[in-house]
Amino acid sequence: MARSRHSARYLDIHPVDPQPRLVEQAVSVLREGGLIAYPTDSCYALGCTLDSAQGLERIRRIRQVDKNHHFTLVCADFAQLGQFVLVSNPTFRLVKNSTPGPYTFILPATKEVPRRMSHPKKLTVGVRIPDHRVAHALVEALGEPIVSSTLLLPGQEDPPSEGWVVQDLLDDQLDAIIDSGEVGIEPTTVVDLSGDGLEIVREGAGDAARF
């Protein structure tokens, strides 16, 4: 019986020296409003562009999360990050000292962030700069952050660590899967800096003791 849905494009991208041609293929999927699974320095993530309302809905559907779910803007560098969140001076030093790395920081969103992807009540958003060549190459080639969420499926304790496993689980629900070898299974450490103090929301791949 023929499948009603398409299969995801499977891209083998070198973890240390990403091939520009393949990176561009993944970025063109994003630019067309598609949804990708890609590796980071913590674990696999689902990603789409800022203006892809459909991409956000697909992530929510795959992960079975509600409108209060915090999405993360995966940024190429600090300059890009600063366009999308408000960073005070003390916060600036703290974030700067922890990037790139497996940390997500929750901060007040600027007007650049579409309302549909910031937290509906707090108007905050997660941001991070990953220490992973492929993730960095994707964001740099795209020229804007990738809206991301940990690829953690309902009822599963850990995200998948390899591309072929992602393909087995989600092939017809994605537009592209990037395989760069095995990645970790621990999501980022999430630090909320949007209030008066600092709150560790989730302990993950990044050392929380430094805060």
- Chunked into runs of 10 residues, the chain (211 residues) has average pLDDT values of 68 98 98 98 97 95 90 95 93 93 96 88 94 98 97 95 97 97 96 93 95 89
Assess if residue 69 is contained within a domain. Answer: yes
Whether 4 is covered by a domain: the verdict is no
Residue 2 lies in a domain: no
Amino acid, single-letter form, for residue 52:
S
Look at residue 3 and tell me if it is in a domain.
Answer: no
Measured in degrees and rounded to the nearest 5, phi and psi for residue 127 equal -135, 150
The token duo for 23 is 């990176």
Q: Which of 4, 195, 208 is nearest to 106 (CA)?
A: 195
Cis peptide before 100 (omega within 30 of 0): yes
Q: The domain that contains 22 carries what CATH number?
A: 3.90.870.10
Identify whether 180 is part of a domain: yes
Evaluate whether 127 touches 103 at the Cβ level (below 8 Å): no
Biggest alpha carbon–alpha carbon distance for the chain = 60
107: domain range? 9-210
Q: How many independent structural domains does the chain possess?
A: 1
pLDDT of residue 119: 85
Q: What is the reported pLDDT for 64?
A: 96
- What is the pLDDT at residue 8? 96
8/88 Cα distance (integer angstroms):
41
> Measured on CA atoms in the order 107, 108, 111, 115, is the torsion positive or negative?
positive
- Is the Cβ–Cβ distance between 194 and 91 less than 8 Å? no
* Conformation bin of residue 64: beta by default, left when phi > 0, alpha when psi is -120 to 50: left
Phi then psi for 142, rounded to 5 degrees? -70, -35
42 in any annotated domain: yes
Residue 1 resides in a domain:
no
- Residue 67 domain-assigned? yes
CA atoms within 13 A on the CB side of 20: 2
Q: Return the pLDDT at 5.
A: 61
